[in-house]
Amino acid sequence: MRDLASSYKIDTDLESLRHQLIRIGGLYLAECKNNLDELRAAERKEYQKILAEIDRFGEALETEENYGLAPLMQFAAIRAQEPPPQTTFHKVTEFQKSQAAPYYLELVRLLRLLRTGVEDHITMMQPPKGRKGNSALRDFVLRLSIFWTENTGRKFSFDHHEGQPLTEAYEFVQSVACHLDPNIPEAQIKTAMRYVIGQRNEWEKRANEASNAASPSRE
């Protein structure tokens, strides 16, 4: 672990590093033993139900009569001595800001974020198009990619030069994967990294679009 942390300049203590990688590796081994596609199909159905409920609630919020929820939230916050919403909504007048409007707008904003998150999760659970790949390995690489960006602050990338990947992120994934299972083909690791990077780029794009649509700013 010490060599791994030193080689890739991982900014976390060795005990935390060990626990995180053991968890990631354990999930991979467990998923290899189970029918991951069936588990994902069942999970997609559950999240699709949640998405339908979010949409139903969102439609209800858009009707004028349900705007009365905002004062209820404001009064509840006052009684509980909770702070008011901190998001600044530029289209709201100063008078509206002093009233209950920010509570309603903040609820709508958070509901939009929740919907985006659930929708992204459903997309992630869908099998990729084309030839069936190694779902457990893709999930394993995804978790390693999150670990990499959170603990190194560096981009999770995969570049080629004359057919050879030249990024530390790839070397890190290959090192951990081969330590866990020396029989994982290198070609599958490369394929999984391409897939994960494509997924993360798509999520980032959608998150930016959702943020621009909401268009509030923090004070």
- The verdict on 117 and 156 lying in the same domain is no
Confidence of residue 218 (pLDDT cuts 50, 70, 90): very low
pLDDT, tens digit, for every residue of 169-178? 999 999 999 8
87 lies in the same domain as 138 = no
User: Where residue 219 falls among pLDDT bands split at 50, 70, 90?
Assistant: very low
The domain tally of the chain equals 2
Q: Which amino acid is at 180?
A: L
Mean pLDDT over each residue of the chain, to the nearest integer: 81
Last residue of a domain, which of 78, 110, 127? 127
Domain that holds residue 201: 1-34+133-219
Separation CA 203–CA 207 (nearest Å): 6
Phi, psi of 182 (to 5 degrees): -60, -15
Q: Which residue has the higher pLDDT, 16 or 162?
A: 16
Residues 122, 157 within the same domain: no
Looking at the structure, tell me whether residues 150 and 205 fall in a common domain: yes
**Same domain flag for 108 and 186:** no
Domain boundary residue among 74, 94, 127? 127
pTM of the model: 0.59
How far, in Å, CA of 116 to CA of 43, rounded? Answer: 17
Q: How confident is the model at residue 97 (pLDDT cuts 50, 70, 90)?
A: low
Q: Do 156 and 213 fall within a single domain? A: yes
Query: Which range among 45-49, 126-130, 134-138 shows the weakest confidence by mean pLDDT?
Result: 126-130
